[in-house]
């Protein structure tokens, strides 16, 4: 998606990209808001952004911090309590720390691993992530006491699969989806979930059961990873068609 993850915070102490995937250090990142000050354009310089803590966003007089402010790094460091810099270009070999909590279905538990980012990007694994309404419905059926709000999964795309049942989008892996008239996406694989699904964000409370449920019922996978074959516009309500089953 144009403009997605074109900005990131660089942590000088660890020489890593700051990420809520390591909530031991960066849990508060989900408590910030950002907005573009200009529409991102393909191939153009990074569109400027404005940022502020979510707790201050409700106050009319809360000052925003802008990417072009001369003291942006000093103020961001004060907000974070760590020395950070705002970047729109990833350093070579950029990585982040990923914490795996106590989920018995995973081989590694209560450990922090380094995750190297795709070259030249701030993406942790893939450029586009989608989840279907069928997957969310299936998780709610399997674990009715848990709130599988789509916001926990933070997808680029929520695909309405109608009456389809189960983890429907996994049948598309290896195929090609067309969205709208011209956008075509290759379905590269299932999307393994991480600790971010369990963290408090917005009105959602912390809930480790979300990650444990995806591990228990679908090998910690919920959703799909995609990459662009043919770019194009996409809008709310556009049809999604499987044009190549792979």
pLDDT of the residue at 56: 53
Alpha-carbon span 212 to 106, nearest angstrom: 9
Residues forming CATH 2.40.33.20 domain(s) in the chain:
128-244
Structural contact between residues 115 and 97, judged by C-beta atoms closer than 8 angstroms? yes
Give the count of alpha carbons within 13 A of 228, CB side only: 12
Q: What is the pLDDT of residues 214-240, one digit of tens each?
A: 999 999 999 999 999 999 999 999 999
Q: What DSSP character marks residue 29?
A: G
Q: How confident is the model at residue 12 (pLDDT cuts 50, 70, 90)?
A: very high
Q: How confident is the model at residue 97 (pLDDT cuts 50, 70, 90)?
A: very high
Backbone angles phi, psi at 192, to 5 degrees: -65, 140
pLDDT of the residue at 61: 52
* CA distance to 111, 134, 150, 217, per residue, from 158 (Å): 31, 10, 8, 21
Q: What angle do CA 32, 156, 116 make, to 5 degrees?
A: 75
* DSSP H or E segment with residue 136: helix 133-142
Mean pLDDT of the chain: 92
Q: What is the number of H-type helices and E-type strands within the chain?
A: 5, 14
* CA distance to 2, 10, 85, 102, 225, per residue, from 90 (Å): 16, 9, 11, 31, 21
pLDDT of the residue at 28: 86
pTM of the model: 0.90
* Percent of the chain residues past pLDDT 90, beyond the cut: 81
pLDDT value at 80 more than 50: yes
pLDDT of the residue at 55: 66
Q: What is the pLDDT of residues 24-49, one digit of tens each?
A: 999 889 989 899 999 998 888 899 99
Handedness of CA 16, 219, 147, 3 (dihedral sign): positive
pLDDT of the residue at 59: 45
Comparing 110-124, 138-152, 165-179, 185-199, the range with the smallest average pLDDT is: 110-124
pLDDT of the residue at 108: 65
In CATH, what number does 128-244 get?
2.40.33.20
**Both tokens assigned to 178:** 């067309």
- Compute how many other C-beta atoms are within 10 angstroms of the C-beta atom of residue 186: 19
């Amino acid at each position: 998606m144009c403009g997605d993850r074109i900005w990131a915070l660089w942590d000088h102490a660890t020489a890593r990209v700051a990420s809520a995937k390591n909530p031991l250090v960066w849990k508060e990142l989900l408590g910030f808001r950002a907005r573009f000050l200009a529409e991102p354009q393909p191939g153009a310089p990074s569109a400027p952004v404005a940022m502020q803590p979510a707790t201050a966003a409700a106050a009319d007089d809360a000052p925003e911090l802008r990417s072009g402010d001369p003291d942006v790094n000093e103020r961001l460091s004060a907000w974070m309590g760590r020395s950070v810099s705002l970047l729109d270009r990833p350093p070579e070999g950029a990585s982040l720390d990923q914490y795996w909590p106590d989920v018995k279905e995973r081989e590694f538990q209560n450990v922090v691993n380094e995750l190297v980012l795709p070259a030249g990007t701030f993406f942790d694994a893939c450029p586009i992530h989608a989840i279907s309404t069928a997957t969310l419905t299936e998780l709610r059926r399997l674990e009715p006491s848990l709130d599988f709000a789509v916001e926990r999964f933070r997808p680029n795309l929520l695909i309405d699969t109608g009456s389809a049942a189960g983890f429907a989008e996994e049948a598309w892996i290896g195929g090609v989806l067309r969205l709208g008239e011209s956008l075509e996406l290759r379905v590269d694989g299932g999307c393994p979930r991480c600790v971010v699904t369990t963290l408090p964000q917005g009105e959602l409370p912390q809930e480790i059961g979300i990650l444990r449920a995806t591990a228990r019922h679908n090998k910690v996978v919920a959703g799909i990873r995609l990459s662009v074959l043919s770019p194009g516009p996409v809008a709310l309500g556009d049809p999604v068609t499987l044009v190549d089953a792979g």
